[in-house]
């Protein structure tokens, strides 16, 4: 008995759907990695300011706070159940095991970035507020991100 046209069509459709799901999964992982990278890379300049390695620049700090708020907001939607593995993700399974806690921490991070935009008006307020924001960011990494070697 030969492989019928309908069966071949169904198999082709299943392969396309499967490939699409894999691509979509990889795309979500790529998107969240890009969002987190934007936050991490952007934090380098303010971190240098905190250490006294760079002069304080309020406009650069405010720009980074907007980057944090925007990317963390986007990242909240980038942890669907089908993105637990693949794409060289560093996301730990604990994210999906305690999703409500993870979402609450990410939401708190977004709120902290938004609040910091209003509170940071000069170097003194920056030195007070930005470390707390970084600690908030690092708290998620401790619980929800695999360490890279």
SS3 of residue 78 by DSSP: coil
Task: Give the number of domains in the chain.
Answer: 1
- DSSP state for residue 91 in the 8-state scheme: B
149, part of any domain: no
Give backbone dihedrals phi and psi of 43, rounded to 5 degrees, phi first: -75, -10
4 vs 63: which has the higher pLDDT: 63
Burial tier of 17 (Cβ tally within 10 Å: 0-12, 13-18, 19+): exposed
Q: How far is CA 125 from CA 41, 43, 61, 69, 122, in A?
A: 22, 17, 11, 18, 6
pLDDT in tens, 67-124: 999 999 999 999 999 999 888 889 999 999 999 999 999 999 999 999 999 999 999 9
Cα–Cα dist 100/109, whole Å:
14
Q: Which domain holds residue 137?
A: 5-144
Find the CATH number of the domain harbouring 93: 1.20.120.10
53, part of any domain: yes
Report whether pLDDT(12) > 50. Answer: no
Predicted pLDDT of residue 26? 53
pTM: 0.77
57, part of any domain: yes
């Amino acid at each position: 008995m030969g492989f019928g046209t309908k069966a071949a069509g169904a198999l082709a459709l299943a392969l396309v759907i499967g490939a699409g799901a894999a691509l979509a999964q990889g795309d979500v992982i790529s998107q969240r990695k890009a969002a987190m990278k934007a936050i991490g890379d952007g934090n380098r300049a303010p971190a240098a300011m905190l250490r006294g390695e760079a002069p304080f620049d309020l406009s650069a700090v405010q720009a980074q706070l907007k980057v944090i708020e925007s990317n963390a907001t986007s990242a909240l939607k980038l942890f669907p159940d089908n993105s637990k593995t693949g794409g060289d993700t560093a996301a730990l399974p604990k994210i999906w095991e305690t999703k409500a806690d993870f979402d609450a921490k990410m939401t708190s991070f977004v709120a902290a970035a938004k609040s910091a935009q209003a509170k940071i008006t000069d170097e003194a307020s920056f030195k007070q507020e930005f470390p707390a924001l970084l600690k908030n960011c690092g708290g998620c990494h401790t619980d929800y991100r695999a360490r890279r070697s």
